[in-house]
């Protein structure tokens, strides 16, 4: 982590601070399917030109085994790249996840994701299309219980993600290249969870002069998962 942080700061020319606020709704169906929808607001806190982004990201994940999961998603973003330049983006996502330790206390996972990106500048004709791959290695550690399946616990988050552009970049202010994240999460019950995450991101400006920057991101996440029918008895099951 220290070596990576040193590489980030040594190659970057500027530093930015961002705030991300996320809300996630999820529900499992049977033992294999998980549907989620994430709502996110992102903004630039440092004293620079305006940058804001609104995002909605529906996804469906299927887990046929304890080790393997497969995901499809269709995120949409509306972003103020800078004053006078707004963009809309629609992405088709396809991903897979391998859990090395599904039955252990420490969860070690590898996520691979492929994205087809379609971006358009608001008020202008024409669209940009690009392909991108993302690879993330992550570790989730329960801190006060022995199993990640517990309904109440504190847990730590540590991961690193690399972005690989397959063909070309789209015109966006923060073209991601690499992220390192560390955070703390609280699972209050099966339904409610909250996370505070710090992200160190290396990016560049794909709109202008490709200036490299280090982005310090403070991320607040609240998650709500609807209780599956198998976990609670419906009130009308025995009366109708």
pLDDT in tens, 84-116: 899 999 999 999 999 999 999 999 999 999 999
Three-state secondary-structure class, residue 4: helix
- For residue 11, what pLDDT band results from cuts at 50, 70 and 90? low
Q: pLDDT at residue 4 above 70?
A: no
pTM: 0.86
Q: What is the pLDDT of residue 230?
A: 55
Region 143-155 average pLDDT: 92
Spatial contact of 39 and 59, defined as CB atoms under 8 Å apart: no
pLDDT at 126: 83
The confidence score (pLDDT) of residue 224 equals: 98
Lowest mean pLDDT across 51-65, 157-171, 184-198, 226-240: 226-240
**For 55-70, what is the mean pLDDT?**
97
Spatial CA neighbour of 141 closest among 96, 194, 185: 185
Report domain extents, the chain.
2-226
What number does CATH give the domain 2-226? Answer: 2.40.160.40
Read off the pLDDT of each residue in 222-238 and give the average, rounded to a whole number. 64
Say which range, 6-10, 149-153, 194-198, has the weakest mean pLDDT. Answer: 6-10
- Of 49 and 209, more confident: 49
Q: What is the pLDDT of residue 212?
A: 85
pLDDT digit string, tens, across residues 122-139: 988 889 999 999 999 999
Quick count: other Cβ atoms within 10 Å of Cβ 163?
20
Confidence (pLDDT) at 170:
85
pLDDT at 106: 94
pLDDT at 13: 63
User: What is the predicted pLDDT for the residue at 76?
Assistant: 98
Q: What percent of the chain has pLDDT over 90?
A: 68
Q: Which residue shows structure tokens 């990016």?
A: 203
How many Å apart are CA 175 and CA 177, to the nearest integer? Answer: 7
Burial of 208 (0-12, 13-18, 19+ CB in 10 A): exposed
Assess whether pLDDT exceeds 90 at residue 70: yes
Over the chain, what is the mean pLDDT? Answer: 88
Contacting residues for 100 by C-beta, under 8 A, at least 6 apart: 67, 108, 109, 110
Q: Which two tokens stand for residue 75?
A: 């995120």
pLDDT at position 233, please?
A: 39
pLDDT exceeds cutoff 50 at 45: yes
């Amino acid at each position: 982590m220290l070596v990576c942080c040193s590489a980030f700061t040594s190659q970057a020319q500027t530093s930015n601070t961002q705030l991300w606020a996320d809300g996630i709704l999820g529900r499992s169906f049977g033992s294999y399917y998980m549907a989620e929808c994430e709502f996110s607001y992102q903004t630039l806190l440092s004293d620079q030109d305006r940058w804001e982004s609104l995002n909605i990201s529906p996804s469906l994940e299927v887990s046929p085994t304890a080790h393997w999961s497969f995901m499809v998603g269709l995120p949409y973003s509306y972003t103020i790249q800078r004053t006078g330049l707004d963009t809309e983006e629609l992405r088709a996502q396809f991903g897979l996840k391998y859990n090395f330790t599904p039955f252990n206390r420490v969860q070690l996972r590898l996520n691979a994701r492929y994205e087809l990106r379609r971006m358009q500048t608001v008020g202008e004709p024409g669209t940009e299309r690009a392909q991108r791959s993302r690879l993330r290695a992550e570790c989730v550690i329960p801190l006060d219980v022995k199993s990640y399946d517990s309904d109440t616990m504190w847990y730590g988050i540590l991961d690193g993600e690399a972005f690989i552009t397959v063909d070309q970049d789209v015109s966006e202010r923060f073209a991601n290249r690499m992220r390192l994240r560390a955070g703390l999460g609280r699972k209050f019950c099966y339904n409610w969870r909250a996370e505070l995450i710090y992200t160190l991101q290396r990016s560049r400006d794909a709109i202008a002069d490709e200036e490299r920057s280090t982005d310090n991101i403070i991320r607040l996440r609240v998650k709500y998962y609807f209780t599956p029918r198998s976990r609670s008895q419906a009130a009308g099951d025995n009366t109708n």
